[in-house]
Chains A and B, each alone.
Chain A
Amino acid sequence: MKALRKFLDKKKPLFQKGGKLAKLQSSFEAFEAFLYVPNITSHGGTHIKDAIDLKRTMSVVVLALIPALMFGIYNTGYQHFLSLGQLANTEFLDICIYGLIEILPIIVVSYVVGLGIEFAVAQMRGHQVNEGFLVSGMLIPLIMPVGAPLWMVAVSTAFAVIIGKEVFGGTGMNIWNPALIARAFFFFAYPSKMSGDVVWIADKADSFSGATPLAHAASLVDATKPAADIIYNTHLSNTWDMFVGLIPGSIGETSTIAILIGAVILIASGIGSWKIMASVFVGGYTMGAIFNLVGGNAYMELIPAWQHLIMGGFAFGAVFMATDPVSAAQTARGKIIYGFLIGFLAVLIRVMNAGFPEAMMLAILLMNTFAPLIDHYVIQGNIKKRLKRVKVNA
């Protein structure tokens, strides 16, 4: 490793001010910092520092996403062969290889496009390359349908990085979760590729229904169809499949188990906010329970409240999207209110508006927008307490 270090030290002047390649300084430094934790020491302030940095933080989040990714790969193959009716005579390995071939290009496109823009922007501004996209680049493929055309993924990613993040000043400055911006852009720009029953299964047989449980549930609203049949004939009656994740859906969002493993990693390492995760689930359950009590149509009456938590992107959004520290509420109390409202609104929109069966994305983006407002009131609470103290003493 010493040789590599020497090589870097030798080439460094080329990229520094006055060097031939000075324009590429940000890129060089990004690679250097990737290979070596820099030799910067503290001056003034605390002489020792916690070993954690943004790279470590982001890699832990990516690690937490791996179970969902692995399951997504398997499930892509599983759904494909299931639709063809060949599941029984296909090896486990072949299922995984098929899934990998389908998904890998989406991941590559997401990272290449996103990191490309990040590097270019850092270069233009003379900034360091921030680590934020390491996570966004993995989140974006996981919330795409497997049938998403690659160029659409590329355009959505570019939109998310530029409009969702860089125009605000880069990592740490954005208002909305960049990965969700990518999905929202995709959803509204190319609706036919993000809804219906074709896009969720790779190369499915035409005769096979590829609708997601969410879509089935949404169809319960239509009183002309017998509700019991819909539930009985679809995944809605097989909640174990829904929990494990053997259902059509976006690549990484189907398996609640895999997502919960990720949640455990995030909470145990202290990186993800358990307050947000827990309150999202509580919020979703509360709204579901209210629907169960009040009733109105088959969707409200027959889908138990807890089932909302394992359907669609709810769990994935709660664990990986709502918890993005930059776009979430920042105060401890604010996090609980923010999380609760996300869960609450997600189920509300999902049930009340058949046009948006996947409401989690919208609920999170909406609450991202309101997070500063929630924080504002929490902060005012702290200020009032302080003022009150003065009055009591005076």
Chain B
Amino acid sequence: MSEVKKIKKGLDIKLIGKAEKVLEKADRSETFAIKPTDFPGLTPKLKVKVDTEVKAGSALFFDKYHPEVNFTSPVSGKIVAVNRGERRKILEVIIQADNELQYEEFKKANPTNLSRDEVKEELLKAGLWAFLRQRPYDVIANPADTPKAIHISAFDSAPLAADFDYLVEGEAKAFQMGLDALAKLTDGNVHLNIDAKKTQSKIFTEAKNVVINKFAGVHPAGNVGVQIHKLDPINKGDVVWVIRPQEILFIGRLFQKGIYDVSCKIALTGSEVKNPAYYNTILGASVRNMLKAQLKDDDKIRVISGNVLTGTQISEDGFLGFYDSQITVIPEGDEYEFLGWALPGLKKFSMSKTFFSWLTPNREYRLDANLHGEHRAFVMTGEYDKVLPMDVLPLQLIKSIMVEDIDQMEQLGIYEVAPEDLALCEFVCTSKINVQDLVRQGIDLMIKEMS
């Protein structure tokens, strides 16, 4: 098989609270939400009002600029609220679920027998299109494009990430059907990128109709952006699509069963969870019932949909994010620490060896959301380079974004990065610069200027 691509630059952050591979039961969630804020750059247009009855797969809203891209309800039930924020921006569309789910009916078909346009139409109609994201820019794919390739990362290297092998377990058929559908969408290859050591599942290793690439190394080895960079970096004008394995199951189920079935497994992780484990749920579910009996209650906590590097903070009765397979609970840490910068710091994690925790390299940490310092101007150099396994100059790219120099951003590789790829740069930053926010701002500016 193909050679293993090794990722050396990066950082594995070992945290307490890795989910055990058992399926725990929690009471079914009563409410579900789709959050337009999960889709960067989207301007949603509502199709429903409060009290509208919907089925699983009924459209809730669509993209103003691409009206064919629908966002559909994960369950059947009644719209109970549309929460808005500043300037009436839609934050959440909340659905009260029925006890017995009703599904919209879509066409059952073997995707290998369909044409590209038919596959596209099915995905758009069912609201599955939103799972396809494009690089550059890390936004929802434009249905009018034909991508150079489609990339799938079959593993997640982020802290406490869910094990994708486990997430797809027992659904070989749906997964393969999903891959077959994807293969229709590109003239190039569908790349399935696996972890050379950890990926065991035959669903991945024996997948058909794809090119399998092997990766090994530290986080962000599992980031699809890094993998694309190593395989075939994105140039100006290229469009590549990406999607995650669990989302391929949804596509497979659509063609297999003719319904929009977004039930999935997620990992409940983090140091503040009593028994970190996996749960069966449905996309967009309220996490309240899941967390109810599981929180340690000695400290103020922070609930994150996603991982600690790229996730979104949600409330204890918040909702699972659209692209997330993981809920992480960590301490909030909004406390003062006496002379914290001067102490030996045996329990503090740092990439540098300025804290004596480097004496215990295998330790698992209980890290909180404290910044451990104040925002400063750039002082240190070379830090970002240590955790970005790309031929991109991260510090210079960030600076070009700060001064909004479009040409320089383009020249320094803005097309090749997504905010998540530079998450570790933000983590290690001595000056506590909000790197991911900046990358997103840069991308937004590019989209605005290039359209």
A: which residues have CB within 8 A of B? 1, 4-5, 33, 35-57, 59-60, 128, 130-132, 169-173, 268-271, 273, 325-326, 328, 330-332, 335, 375, 379, 382-383, 385-387, 389-390, 393
Contacts and interface: CB of A to CB of B under 8 A. Distances in A.
14 contacts: A5-B338, A38-B371, A41-B369, A45-B423, A47-B308, A47-B311, A47-B328, A48-B330, A48-B349, A52-B372, A56-B373, A268-B353, A326-B379, A382-B412
A53 B372 contact: yes
Size category of the binding interface on chain B: 35 or more
Interface centre among B235, B330, B354, B429 (most CB of A within 10 A): B354
B427 A56 contact: no
Contacts of B159: 48
B437 A44 contact: yes
A158 B426 CA distance: 35
Contacts of A331: 393, 396
Contact of A172 (B311, B354, B378, B428): B378
B430 A53 contact: yes
Contacts of A330: 381-382, 395-396
B379 A40 contact: no
Contact of A271 (B308, B354, B396, B435): B354
A37 B337 contact: yes
Contact of A36 (B15, B337, B379, B393): B337
A46 B423 contact: yes
Interface in B208-226: none
B450 interface: no
B200 interface: no
Contacts of A326: 379
Contacts of A387: 411
Contact of B377 (A4, A33, A56, A173): A173
A56 B376 CA distance: 13
B418 to A, nearest CB: 14
Nearest to A4: B338
Contacts of B65: none
B334 A39 contact: yes
B341 A171 contact: no
B432 interface: yes
B228 interface: no
Nearest to A383: B411
Nearest to A54: B376
A37 B411 contact: no
A393 B235 contact: yes
Given A54-B379, A56-B354, A271-B352, A37 B372 contact: yes
Given A49-B432, A50-B428, A332-B382, 12 more contacts: A1-B338, A38-B374, A42-B371, A44-B313, A44-B434, A45-B423, A50-B372, A56-B341, A57-B379, A273-B381, A331-B396, A382-B391
Contacts of A375: 396
A38 B376 contact: no
Contacts of A386: 235, 411-413
Nearest to A325: B381
Contact of B370 (A41, A52, A385): A41
Interface in B358-391: 367-374, 376-382, 385, 391
Instruction: State the 9 A-B residue pairs at the shortest beta-carbon distance, nearest first.
Output: A53-B373, A172-B377, A37-B340, A51-B348, A36-B336, A55-B341, A270-B352, A330-B381, A37-B337
Nearest to A379: B396
A335 B395 CA distance: 14
Contact of A332 (B339, B385, B435): B385
B143 interface: no
Nearest to B312: A44
Contacts of A271: 352, 354, 380
A52 B349 CA distance: 8
Contact of B336 (A37, A51, A173): A37
Interface centre among B313, B376, B428, B431 (most CB of A within 10 A): B376
Contact of B371 (A40, A128, A268, A383): A40
B334 A41 contact: yes
B171 to A, nearest CB: 31
B426 to A, nearest CB: 5
A299 B353 CA distance: 42
Nearest to B425: A46
A140 B15 CA distance: 42
B412 A383 contact: yes
A362 to B, nearest CB: 23
B236 to A, nearest CB: 6
B336 A38 contact: yes
B310 interface: yes
Nearest to A5: B336
Contacts of A54: 373, 376, 379, 430-431
Given A56-B354, A59-B342, A325 B391 contact: no
B352 A48 contact: no
A33 B374 contact: yes
B233 A389 contact: yes
A392 to B, nearest CB: 9
